[in-house]
Chains A and B, each alone.
Chain A
């Protein structure tokens, strides 16, 4: 019988006095995928950190056994990293080099391999090899980590929410890389709150619920697809223009313009979606519309208070606790409490923001923005790391704030959101094209 590549038995792991996962056993063979799924905050990322040996580094504890090809391995991250490559949910935290090339070459160097830059071509990264990493998009950061994961030849790759920042074309490319990894006998563990993304591979599936396994076995569907249209309520958009961008141009230092003559107007009670490939400038556009960046040319007029919720929610927060962040603007009103309940945040209100999962932080940021009641909402990838239940709540909340007279622009890659918008645009080559 073929020996499993990765076997893990976790009795208890997590953070003392806080969240723990327990009684999880899993094994995965060469060329196989294990899909770990469950609601936002169910312990998926904690599980990956435990397998990668990073949980103790993060101030947590680990009580269990990890074995690679039948051999027990010390839960030391440096020992485990010889066999396991961990790709975090927020890809920018997985990069230590200041340019794409330095990070790629350093990573290969740590694994004892020589750096062959031409291999970056296959990942669409060669043209940006000399670019500073704080100037590349989240999707490009993610592709850099895929390149490293695949070129280092580790036996196991752990992907935490690999599709969060990836456009549809990028997902197809990712599948190509994934198949390459599987065909070379590697085992892949994927965390995703959308199991349907992996149905084609018929993977093994581990479903977590509040830190415990609720299902482990062959892939089973049974997850009802999110039907945004059913959540949508009829709403007449007003003729009042809340935000107007005229011939907006923007470029980063030393680079070609990212935005080239963008025209856009957002009306009261309107919800607009913006899609586009990774690195095309969706985030930049939102920042310019919000006034975080100034347009190099052209004009942005805002008629009303504006809020921008970035894809990295940590930058949004003003307070260390969710309770302070959400209720800072006002005493807990019925509306505020309703939003807290809708986003399932009641049990998280007094947990430090730094200790929340990525999906939980995003929910807090969105709830805080909604409670404060702005006229213009600019949301960057708001559904990243959110399960279908929270996405439903988010969609209802967005519909609610539009009904109350605000306007919303959402930059996203999430196919689940199709049907939410009154108008949707594609950002391509620096200009916006109306899809509908």
Chain B
């Protein structure tokens, strides 16, 4: 697969592959607690905290979103981590005033990788339906369609780009030649949805979307959060 197609494919699988299920169904407070505690632990910067966060993130992501999510997210997380690690190494080679050893550079890579994977997990926890309800509750009724529309258009656009690239490949066209029509199909998707669904986008909703909460995932998130807080406390003391 062309590098662009591959990148689009992994972004799609990391962020948009599941519907309203898995970790997305956890209680909002459990999610907030999880984000706070894991970021607190991450900020300690110790190998042990990074190892814990990495294992916890991979396990949570794989159980909730499937191993394909883990595979694609791992590949995406490699991009910034490799970038930071290589940049640090090049700076050392260039003689800039940093005295990083190889171990330090590996730590930079590991920290960036862990944080990237965590961010992708946070993103997969976002429930557009809950955001819709929150916007409705605070009176931003006309804006409430934005989260569900974003989660509808962006992944559909990514699918269009992927399919357009794949069809171009089947037609024997190069990926670079196919890029413009792929983007055009994405823009046209947005325009056609705007026209055909005009009243849905610009109408004013009045009632919430029913959202269920998963006790299982809420408990798992709280458990990981407590473990993170305890570990952070141990490191600090």
**Is the pair B195, A54 in contact by a Cβ cutoff of 8 Å?**
yes
Give the contacting residue for A117; candidates B185, B194, B210; CB below 8 A.
B210
A98 to B69, CA, bound (A): 18
- In the complex, whether A276 has a CB less than 8 A from a CB of chain B is no
15 A-B pairs (CB sep. < 8 Å) = A54-B196, A57-B195, A81-B198, A93-B193, A93-B196, A96-B149, A99-B129, A103-B148, A106-B145, A134-B16, A254-B65, A291-B169, A293-B166, A318-B181, A354-B188
- Tell me whether A86 and B210 are in contact (CB under 8 A): no
Check B152–A105 contact: CB distance below 8 A: no
In the bound complex, do residue A115 and residue B210 qualify as a contact, i.e. CB atoms below 8 Å apart?
Answer: yes
Residue of B nearest to A254 (CB): B66
Q: Among the listed stretches B90-98, B107-115, B200-208, B224-232, which one makes contact with chain A, having 4 or more residues with CB under 8 Å of it? A: B200-208
* CB of B68 within 8 Å of the partner chain: yes
On whether the beta carbons of B18 and A132 are closer than 8 Å, the reply is yes
Residues in chain A near residue B149, CB distance under 8 A: 96-97
Say if the beta carbon of B59 comes within 8 Å of chain A: no
The yes or no answer to A351 lying at the interface (CB within 8 A) is: no
Could you say which residues of chain B place their CB within 8 Å of the CB of A415?
A: none
- Complex Cα gap A308–B170 (Å): 7
Chain A residues, Cβ within 8 Å of B128: 98, 102
Question: How distant is the Cα of A112 from the Cα of B203 in the complex, in angstroms?
Answer: 10
What chain A residues lie within 8 Å of B195 (beta carbons)? 49, 54, 57-58, 93
Mark A365-391 against chain B: 1 for CB-CB distance below 8 A, else 0: 000000010000000000000000000
Q: How far is the CB of B128 from chain A (nearest CB, A)?
A: 6
**B16, B160, B192, B203: the one within 8 Å of A78 (CB):** B203
How would residues 158 to 200 of chain B score, 1 for a CB under 8 Å from any chain A CB and 0 otherwise?
A: 0110011011111111000110010011001101111111111
B interface SS class = helix
Set A49, A97, A133, A254: member contacting B17, Cβ < 8 A: A254
Contact of B167 with A131 in the complex, beta carbons under 8 Å: no
Return the contact of B168 from the options A254, A318, A354 (Cβ within 8 A): A318
Q: Which residues of B are found within 8 Å of A86, using beta-carbon distances?
A: 196, 199
> Which B residues form the contact surface with A (CB < 8 A)?
13, 16-21, 65-66, 68-69, 128-129, 132, 145, 148-149, 151-152, 155-156, 159-160, 163-164, 166-173, 177-178, 181, 184-185, 188-189, 191-210
Judge if A108 is at the interface, Cβ distance under 8 Å: yes
**B81 vs chain A, min Cβ distance (A):** 24
What distance in Å separates the Cβ of B76 from its nearest Cβ neighbour in chain A?
Answer: 15
- Give chain A nearest CB distance to B62 CB in angstroms: 12
A88 to B13, CA, bound (A): 29
- Closest-CB distance, A19 to chain B (whole angstroms): 16
In the assembled complex, which residues on chain B have CB atoms less than 8 Å from the CB atom of A404? Answer: none
Whether A224 is near chain B, meaning CB under 8 Å from some CB there, is: no
User: B173 to chain A: which residues have CB within 8 Å?
Assistant: 318
Query: Do A315 and B167 touch across chains, with their CB atoms under 8 A apart?
Result: yes
Say yes or no: A315-B206 contact (C-beta < 8 A), given A81-B199, A96-B145: no
Shortest Cβ gap from B135 to chain A (Å): 12
A117 to B197, CA, bound (A): 21
Closest chain-A Cβ to B66's Cβ sits at a distance in Å of 5
B207 contacts A115, C-beta separation under 8 Å: yes
**CB-based contact B152/A97 at 8 Å:** yes
Q: Given the known A-B contacts A134-B159, A253-B13, are A96 and B202 also in contact in the complex, defined by CB atoms under 8 Å?
A: no
Distance A289 CA – B171 CA, assembled complex (angstroms): 14
Cross-interface CB contact of B209 among A92, A96, A109, cutoff 8 Å: A109
A98 touches B155 (CB 8 A): yes
Beyond known contacts A253-B69, A310-B167, A315-B164: 15 more, CB 8 A cutoff: A49-B195, A58-B195, A81-B198, A94-B196, A95-B197, A96-B197, A97-B149, A98-B148, A98-B155, A109-B209, A287-B166, A292-B166, A307-B170, A315-B167, A318-B173
CB-CB < 8 A to B168: which residues of A? 318
Cα separation A111 to B204 with both chains bound (whole Å): 8
B185 touches A98 (CB 8 A): no
CB-based contact B160/A109 at 8 Å: no
Residue of B nearest to A306 (CB): B170
A residues near B208, Cβ cutoff 8 Å: 109
Smallest beta-carbon distance A354→chain B, Å = 6
Is A105's CB under 8 angstroms from B210's CB? Answer: yes
A77 within 8 A of B: yes
Closest CB of chain B to A372's CB: distance in Å? 8
Cα A88 to Cα B107 in complex, Å, equals 54
Contact of B20 among A102, A110, A354 (CB under 8 A): A102
What is the CA–CA distance of A315 and B198 in the complex, to the nearest angstrom? 23
Cβ of A90 within 8 Å of any chain B Cβ, yes or no, is yes
Contact assessment for B152 and A98 in the assembled complex, using a CB-CB cutoff below 8 Å: yes
Q: Is the CB of A110 within 8 A of B200?
A: yes
Min C-beta distance of B106 to chain A, whole Å? 32
Chain B residue nearest in CB terms to A314 = B185
How many angstroms between the C-alpha atoms of A419 and B186 in the bound complex? 37
Q: Which chain B residues lie closer than 8 Å to A110 at the CB level?
A: 199-200, 203-206
A220 at the interface (CB under 8 A from B): no
